Amino acid sequence: MKKIKIGIPRGLYYYMYFPFWCTFFKSLGMEIVLSPTTNKGILNDGVRYSVDDICISVKAYHGHVKYLLNKDVDYVFVPRIVSEEKHKYNCPKLTALPDLIKSAFPEDKDKILTLNLGPFQREEYRFAFYTLGKKFAVKESLVKEAYKKAEKIQRTAERYLHSGFNTLQVYEKIDDPSSLLKNEKNKNNMLVGVVGFPYDVYDTFLSSSLLKRLNDMGIDVLVSNMLDYNGLPKYRDFAPRDLFWYQGNYVLRAGLYFLSSTSIDGVISMSSFGCGLSSIYTKMMDIYNNTHHRKPLLHLVIDEQTGEAGMVTRLEAFTDLAKLKKEGEL
């Protein structure tokens, strides 16, 4: 029997939940078609099909969906993730994602496979996936089994993430994560913390390969999502209340942790132009840094005009500053 082909756009929540989705759909006997890493063509399509005043991450996502629709898949998976933590919500662009995509590609709207996740309750998540799975599997037991397997692989991926490997490293070895143990960690004498949403930081095209550039400069990197959210301090003396957004809290807490950690030599934040959420957490990081630690801190904002040359110059200036500070010359 011909397998159902399900397209997964390599953007936004792909960088958080791909291990789960991939395992779930594969366990139901479906074939996964993943769009490639963002490239100029994908971004151009994204810009063409999305609304004007939206961040580059969501624009690029439209391009990934277009790529998959051109590949003649049966469905493109576009989840609506409203919430990932109780009483915390996600950005309106993410909660409206299936609507944005359907209105951008009205002729293909029946191919957009979605489900609503949130307000966050573990039982609701399970129920949403069971309901979705039952569309494709005759037996309920098969769906339950697929969900269980998917949860397990997601937990494994997160465990490796929190033990020093970044998302790209974990995804590369997702079929055999134990081989990651052979990886060399912290081999350089400089360590930089990078904060940002995983879909900006790990998209090599949008970020102009920020992580690789730092590694090529002889710098080790810790990305905010490599820290366990539940283990991060809340810095209540500085931020008495949480932000409204889960991902915003994650990045802010990680940023404050990097700024206050003596083992981190400098901090880089990466965010999309026009992102209201990041304008709040980057400002809070500035205030915290100016009043507490005065650590080298660089904010990189990406949009369609971001050029590699400008990025390299700023990175070089930042790393020179961080080295001087580390050596006590500043």
Q: Which residues bind ligand SF4 (CB under 6 A)?
A: 55, 57-58, 91, 93-94, 197, 272, 275, 277-278
Kindly provide the b/e burial profile for residues 44-67, where b requires at least 16 CB atoms within 10 angstroms of the residue's own CB: ebbbebbeeebbbbbbbbbbbbbb
Judge whether 295 and 267 are in contact, CB under 8 Å: yes
Our CB check for ligand SF4 shows the closer of 67 and 281 to be: 281
Residue 199 CB, shortest distance to ligand SF4, in Å, is: 7
Residue 75 CB, shortest distance to ligand SF4, in Å, is: 22
Tokens of 284: 């809070």
**DSSP state at residue 85:** B
Distance, in Å, from the CA atom of 41 to the CA atom of 44, rounded to the nearest integer, reads 5
Our CB check for ligand SF4 shows the closer of 94 and 143 to be: 94
Our CB check for ligand SF4 shows the closer of 100 and 170 to be: 100
Distance, in Å, from the CA atom of 60 to the CA atom of 139, rounded to the nearest integer, reads 37
How many residues does this entry show for the chain? 330
Tokens of 216: 């090529």
Which residue is listed with tokens 């730092």?
Answer: 214
Our CB check for ligand SF4 shows the closer of 28 and 60 to be: 60
Output the DSSP codes for 194-249.
EES-HHHHS-TTTTTTHHHHHHHTT-EEEEGGGS-GGGS---TTT-SS--SBHHHH
Strand pairing of 112-113 and 191-195?
A: unpaired
Our CB check for ligand SF4 shows the closer of 89 and 136 to be: 89
Residue 52 CB, shortest distance to ligand SF4, in Å, is: 14
Residue 183 CB, shortest distance to ligand SF4, in Å, is: 29
Distance, in Å, from the CA atom of 14 to the CA atom of 211, rounded to the nearest integer, reads 18
Query: Angle at the Cα of 164 (from 172 to 303), degrees rounded to 5?
Result: 65
Residue 61 CB, shortest distance to ligand SF4, in Å, is: 9
Our CB check for ligand SF4 shows the closer of 117 and 191 to be: 117
Residue 272 CB, shortest distance to ligand SF4, in Å, is: 4
Distance, in Å, from the CA atom of 69 to the CA atom of 86, rounded to the nearest integer, reads 34
Distance, in Å, from the CA atom of 14 to the CA atom of 302, rounded to the nearest integer, reads 19
Residue 96 CB, shortest distance to ligand SF4, in Å, is: 10
Residue 208 CB, shortest distance to ligand SF4, in Å, is: 16
Our CB check for ligand SF4 shows the closer of 27 and 57 to be: 57
Our CB check for ligand SF4 shows the closer of 177 and 196 to be: 196
